[in-house]
Each structure stands twice: as C-alpha cells, then as structure tokens.
C-alpha cells in the first residue's frame, strides 16, 4: 500500500534521483519529471526492481517552459488522482562573475532556478488549493543565506528568492498546506563536482539526501542539512562579516 504520491522535478540525476530512491523505499509512489527521460527510465527500472509495488510515472520537462510545467504537473496529478507532496528541486549551477561576458550562463541559471521554481510553485499550489491539502517542498541552498561572490552570485540570489517564496506562502497560511524549505550544504552531485577538491564540508550523496528526506518527512518549516556542520555554519553565516562568509563558498 502506498503512503502517498510525491512529485519530484529534476529527478534524472543528483539530489532528485536519490530522493526518488529513498522515498520509494519509504513506500511512496513517484511522479518524476526532468529533461533527460532516458536517465529517468533507468531510474524507474532500478526503483521498481527494488520495490515491485511502487508506481513510478515519468514525464519530460524543462522547467523554464512555464506552459509545460503547468501541463505536466496537471497531467501527473490527474494520473494519480491527486498529489500529496511536490518537491521543487530542478536547478542549475552554472554561472560567472558579473560583468565577465557570461550573461548567458547567469540568465539561464536565473531562469531555471527562480522562474522555473516560480512556475512549479504556481502549478503545485493550483493542485493543492483545488484538493484542499498538500505539502510543498522547495529545495534552496545554504548559499541563499548571504550574498556570494564570483560564479556563485547569481546562483545564491536565485536560491534566496526560492526561500522567500516559501516564507511568503507560510505567511499566507493556506488551509491544508504545509510548506518546507530545505537548505542543503555541500552534498556530492554532478553539479558541484568542480568544488569537491576544495571544500572541507562535502558529504556523499546517499547520507546527504537521507538528511533531506528526514527533514521533509518531518515537514520541517526550514532545514539546514546535514545538520552537522550546517546548522552552526548557518548561524555563523548570518552574523559574520561578509568578508568572512565569502570564504565559505
């Protein structure tokens, strides 16, 4: 018997794919969407082989296409007869220092991480308002807590925007709605493999995502994950001078 249905965007790799594995193991049916359908098909085969009772629906989706977001989310909700939880996870880590000729990379990051998250939130909220309940989860970043330098500037700004969307919805107090925002620290994925050699705080994908899943299952309003060392680092980031904070990125 299913514990419920979870929609996860950006589910073809990284945090999204591992969340799919772990939520399936907990007993959830899955609605997965991403641009790379072949990878999701392989993931579905893996999940259904390990958990034969799980239902896994796949849809191709580029979250920068707002019309497609509404169409895919609505189609998946119809396919399952509703949606219990939506995890807005799809993201992009490309970027460059402002003024260095890479506006294309910064724009793409902003379109994916913020405008894409906005479209997904709108689509999810339409479903949740209509059915009278739901759990919206937005995946932000520890970088959202302060402004970041160089190639991280736009990425951090988009994630700060995602966190603000979550806070605004919590302030609205929509009946039947739970809203969580998760701030992952350095969890090993393809997106951050370039920084792996120069950070002291990187954790492997499986335990890192396990901490995310635990926070989501508890419907935490806000979570810094993994709790160690990111809870104390998060406190420090809010109070230390910007010159010190910038060395953490």
- If one counts every other C-beta atom within 10 angstroms of the C-beta of residue 147, the result is 15
Could you tell me which of 201, 138, 150, 176 has the C-alpha nearest to residue 7?
138
Contacts of 159 (CB under 8 A, 6+ apart): 113, 140, 141, 143, 144
Tokens (6 digits) for 216: 């989501």
Contacts of 17 (CB under 8 A, 6+ apart): 11, 39, 43
What does DSSP say about strands 5-9 and 29-34: parallel, antiparallel, or unpaired? parallel
224: annotated active-site residue:
no
**What span, in angstroms and rounded, lies between the C-alpha atoms of 31 and 56?**
6
Contacts of 66 (CB under 8 A, 6+ apart): 115, 119
Catalytic residue among 28, 155, 186, 224: 155
**What span, in angstroms and rounded, lies between the C-alpha atoms of 101 and 36?**
29
**What span, in angstroms and rounded, lies between the C-alpha atoms of 28 and 4?**
5
Enumerate the active-site residues: 155
């Amino acid at each position: 018997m299913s514990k419920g249905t979870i929609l996860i965007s950006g589910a073809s790799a990284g945090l999204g794919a591992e969340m799919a594995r772990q939520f399936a193991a907990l007993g959830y049916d899955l609605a997965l969407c991403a641009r790379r359908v072949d990878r999701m098909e392989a993931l579905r085969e893996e999940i259904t082989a390990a958990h034969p009772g799980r239902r896994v629906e796949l849809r191709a989706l580029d979250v920068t296409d707002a019309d497609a977001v509404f169409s895919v989310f609505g189609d998946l909700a119809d396919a399952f007869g509703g949606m219990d939880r939506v995890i807005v996870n799809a993201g992009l880590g490309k970027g460059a220092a402002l003024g260095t000729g890479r506006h294309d990379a910064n724009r793409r990051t902003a379109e994916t991480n913020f405008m894409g998250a906005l479209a997904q939130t709108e689509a999810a909220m339409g479903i949740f308002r209509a059915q009278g309940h739901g759990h919206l989860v937005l995946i932000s970043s520890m970088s959202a807590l302060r402004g970041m330098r160089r190639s991280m500037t736009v990425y951090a700004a988009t994630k700060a925007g995602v966190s603000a969307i979550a806070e605004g919805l919590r302030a609205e107090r929509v009946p039947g709605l739970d809203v969580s925002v998760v701030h992952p620290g350095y969890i090993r994925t393809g997106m951050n493999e370039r920084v792996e050699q120069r950070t002291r705080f990187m954790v492997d994908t499986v335990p890192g995502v396990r901490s995310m899943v635990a926070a989501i299952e508890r419907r935490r309003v806000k979570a810094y994950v993994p709790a160690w060392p990111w809870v104390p680092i998060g406190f420090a980031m809010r109070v230390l001078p910007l010159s010190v904070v910038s060395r953490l990125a």
